[in-house]
Structure 1
Amino acid sequence: MNKLVINCITSLRILLGFLFLLCVLLDLNVAYLAIIFILTAITDVGDGWLSRKYGLASDAGARFDVICDFIFIMISTFALVLRGLIPAWFLLIIILKLVEFFKTSDESLVYEKFGHFVALMFYAFPIVAVLLNDPLIVLILAIFITICALISSLSRIHRKFY
C-alpha cells in the first residue's frame, strides 16, 4: 500500500460528486444517489483507515482529504441548488467554513468534536435533503446547520486568536 493508492481513493470523492450531480440533473432514482453517498462515505472512512494502518498518515494527506470532502459537499449541494431543493446561500456557508477551518488550523489540521459534527452535517445534508424532499424542512435544516457552523467557527476563531 502506498500514498498514491490512498490519494486515488480520496480523489474518488470528487468523481463521485460529479456522478451525484449527473444523477440529479438526469433526475435518476433516489437509490442511485444513496449508493453514491454510501460509496463516498466508504472512501472517506477507507482512505483514513488505510493511511493509519500503513503508517502513511500525513498533514498533506489530511489536507487533501478535507479538500476532497468539501469538493464533494460543494458539488452535491450545488446539484440540489440547481434543482431548487437547497437554498443557494448555503454554498457560501460551506465555502466560508472551509476557509475558516484552514485559517484556524496551523501547520497540522486542528479538529474539534463540534466542528467534526458540523462537517458531518455538511456531508450528509445533500442526501438527507433528497430523502426528505421537502423544501421547508430542508430550509430549516440549512438554517440549523448554518447556526451550528457559525458557533463552531466562532469557537475556533476565539481559540486561535484569543
Structure 2
Amino acid sequence: MQRILKFIPNIITASRIIMSALFVSNVLKQFRYGQEKILSIAIIFFLICLSDLIDGYIARKSNCTSRMGAKLDIFADLFFIVSSYVTLVILRIMPLWFLVFVCLKFIEFLYTSNFIRKCDEVSAHPFIFDKLGRIVSAMFFIVPGIICYSRFSCTVNFLLYIILILGVLSSYLRIKECFEWN
C-alpha cells in the first residue's frame, strides 16, 4: 500500500499537464472558434489549481516527497503557465511582454535557487522559494483564469503591472541575497 501511495502525488502532478492541454484546447475553442466553453474552462482551471494545491500536501503528509516530484511539480506549473500564456498571446488577449517577463522570472528563479542551494548546504530541496516569489508565482498561475473571465482589459492590465512590479522586486531581493552569500 505504501508503494502505491508513494506515486499518488506524482500522478496528480502529471494529470495537471494533461489538464493544461485540455484548458488550452477549450480556450482556443471559446475565443477563436466561438464555441461556448466557458464552463469547461472554469472546471478545468479549478481542477488545475486544486491539483497544484493537493499534490504537494499529499506528498508531505504521506512522507513521499522527492526531488523528482519537486521537479515534476515545477515542470507541470511551468507547462500550464507557458502553454496558456502562449495561447492567450496568440489570441491577442494577453500582451507578449508579460509572457517574456514570466520566462525571464523563471530563468532567474532557477539560477538563484541553484546558487543559494550551493551556498546554503542545509537545503536539500532543488528549488529555493521566497515569500514574495511564492505570491508572484501564485499570481502567474491564476492569471489565465482571470483573463478568461474578465471583460475589463484595464483591470487585467493593472493586475499584470502589479505582478510585474512584485516580480521585479522578488528578483531584486533574490539576486541581492546571492551577492550577500558571495
Q: Say whether the fold is shared (TM-score over 0.5).
A: yes
Listed as ranges, the gaps of 5+ residues in structure 2 are: 31-35, 118-123
Is residue 149 of structure 2 the alignment partner of residue 146 of structure 1? no
Q: Is the 8 A contact 1:17 1:75 kept in 2?
A: yes
Aligned residues: 162
Q: Is the 8 A contact 2:13 2:76 kept in 1?
A: yes
AA paired with 2:138? L
Q: Is the 8 A contact 1:21 1:75 kept in 2?
A: yes
Counterparts of 2:83 and 2:8 in 1: how far apart (Å)?
Answer: 23
Provide the residue aligned with 2:106 in structure 1. 98
Is residue 63 of structure 2 the alignment partner of residue 60 of structure 1? no
In the TM superposition, what are the counterparts of 1:113-124 in structure 2 within 5 Å?
Answer: 113-124=131-142
Is residue 137 of structure 2 the alignment partner of residue 158 of structure 1? no
Q: Is the 8 A contact 1:85 1:133 kept in 2?
A: no
> 1:66-103, CA deviations, whole angstroms, 9 ceiling, x for partnerless residues?
12111111111222212211101211111111111111
What is the SS of the residue equivalent to 2:46?
Answer: helix
**Which of 17, 21, 40 is residue 14 of structure 1 equivalent to?**
17
Counterparts of 1:49 and 1:35 in 2: how far apart (Å)?
Answer: 21
Counterparts of 2:88 and 2:155 in 1: how far apart (Å)?
Answer: 14
Q: Is the 8 A contact 1:73 1:123 kept in 2?
A: yes
Q: Is the 8 A contact 1:10 1:47 kept in 2?
A: yes
Identity rate of aligned residues, in percent? 34
Listed as ranges, the gaps of 5+ residues in structure 1 are: none
Cα RMSD after superposing both structures = 1.6
Is the radius of gyration larger for structure 1 or structure 2?
2
Q: TM-score, normalised by structure 2?
A: 0.82
Q: Is the 8 A contact 1:20 1:79 kept in 2?
A: no
Provide the residue aligned with 1:128 in structure 2. 146
Greater relative contact order (CA < 8 Å, ≥ 6 in sequence): 1
Counterparts of 1:32 and 1:80 in 2: how far apart (Å)?
Answer: 17
